[in-house]
Structure 1
Amino acid sequence: MNSSEQTPTGGRDPVRVFLVDDHALFRTGVRAELERAGDAVTVVGEAGSVAEAVAGVAHYQPDVVLLDVHMPDGGGAEVLRRVRSTRSSVVFLALSVSDAAEDVIAVIRAGARGYVTKTISARELVDAVVRVRNGDAVFSPRLAGFVLDAFADRPGAPPISDPELDLLTPREREVLRLLARGYAYKEIASELFISVKTVETHVSSVLRKTQLSNRYELSRWASDRRLI
């Protein structure tokens, strides 16, 4: 990532940014680049693991989290899952060396507002941070097509894998889909010709695999993946 000229704030307060990457040297470089890029953003904190990221976001309450995709203890999607359940106002922008379709789709499905690669310039990164804070979706040019293919249901579009969704069996997906639509356990059992106890077993399995706590979180998770 190369530095560039200063970027104006446009009259608004600086965007409060929190950095998440397991490489301390990279975090130092990004912080330095952002701080040299003008007063549009301010780095309020950083983390090198999922647990540190969750605690740091809760403590610093940033506007935007710059999030690495791959980390040893769970990665960007796991940070998103934990933080979004309690702090839905925080915006996430993935910043990764990976430009693989499955990585892009996984974090977007988890709730990131954009995805840029680490070849981005400092000026472009500041612009991306400001834009996602203001409600835009931002992608490095060639990555936008992955998202369109995955979410537009275009005929002939290649299937994009979702590691979390792939953990569920076909029957668990059926149960989850009906649950997210508001069906009661008894109604799900009748619809799928199974017992209520079997429905409960499937729901418990889905909760365990997704590491969610209740049917309301499951409904949002299913909606994000267009299962409803």
Structure 2
Amino acid sequence: MEDTTHTQARIAVVDDHEMFRAGVIATLQPYFDIVGQAADVESSIDMIVATQPDVVLLDVHVPGGAEILAKSHPHAPRTAFLALSVSDSAQDVGSVIRAGARGYVTKTITGHDLIHSIEQVSEGYAVFSPKLAGFVLSAFQGAPPDAPAADEPVHDEELDRLSAREQEVMRLIARGYTYKEVASELFISIKTVETHVSSVLRKLQLSNRNELTLWASDRHIV
């Protein structure tokens, strides 16, 4: 008999990668009522306001992702947002939580854990990966909202030179992912990965991926 314990929760999915979005929806459909999906700011806001979902699973690296949260929340006050990201940087999660998201998980999450996380958020709980829980707890205990975690870098002008997508690629490459693995993780072509890596190395004035790994490790962003 099919498990129907989650079917009352109404879920919307916002992600600009069509194949990833379709895969997530296929994973969630047996457990939740999928009431909408979108890939950009305008259509996401319209969809959220129209459907009033219980939970929006939001890829925070959709261009204008923070804008989606900020502009739709006043018109869908009962909707909770669960952020989904390729990054597990405390700096990234801090900005998203301050914008109003109730939880934050990475795209390495298993289907089972994603279902459980959405269920928890729909019931009013906050959900974070264990690595980020300490940072979030410190923030809620009174640390300055813009203060980095103890093992996180301060504002970095070099990092700011990179676009959001370049930062995603940089973190994966620095963690030892191959170009093919990065392409699969981000649902982009290997050629696009190569282009981003070349741009990252040029902007950071580095020569190769080994130097990139050391650069990222020194800043505690991998």
Specify if TM > 0.5: yes
Which of 19, 24, 30 in structure 1 is aligned with 2:24? 30
Partner of 2:121: 132
The Cα of 1:24 is off from its aligned counterpart by: 0.9
| TM-score normalised by L of structure 2 | 0.61
Partner of 1:9: 5
User: 1:128-207 residue pairs with structure 2 within 5 A?
Assistant: 128-153=117-142, 158-159=147-148
Identity %: 50
Higher radius of gyration, 1 or 2: 1
Q: Residue 46 in 1 paired to residue 40 in 2?
A: no
> Alignment RMSD, CA only?
2.4
Q: Residue 64 in 1 paired to residue 60 in 2?
A: no
| Counterpart residue identity of residue 54, structure 2 | D
Unaligned 5+ runs, structure 1: 1-5, 163-228
Between the aligned partners of 1:41 and 1:122, the Cα distance in structure 2 is 13
Between the aligned partners of 2:55 and 2:28, the Cα distance in structure 1 is 13
Which of 89, 95, 99 in structure 2 is aligned with 1:100? 89
Q: Is the 8 A contact 2:10 2:54 kept in 1?
A: yes
Q: Is the 8 A contact 1:7 1:123 kept in 2?
A: no
Unaligned 5+ runs, structure 2: 156-222
| TM-score normalised by L of structure 1 | 0.60
The Cα of 1:122 is off from its aligned counterpart by: 1.1
Alignment length (residue pairs): 149
The Cα of 1:43 is off from its aligned counterpart by: 1.4
Q: Is the 8 A contact 1:20 1:27 kept in 2?
A: yes
Between the aligned partners of 1:101 and 1:7, the Cα distance in structure 2 is 35
SS of corresponding position for 2:83: strand
| Counterpart residue identity of residue 68, structure 1 | D
Between the aligned partners of 1:146 and 1:7, the Cα distance in structure 2 is 35
Partner deviation per Cα, 1:113-147 (whole Å, 9 max, x = no partner): 10011111111111111111111111111111221
Partner deviation per Cα, 1:54-75 (whole Å, 9 max, x = no partner): 0011122211000011122x12
The Cα of 1:97 is off from its aligned counterpart by: 0.8
Q: Is the 8 A contact 1:91 1:113 kept in 2?
A: yes
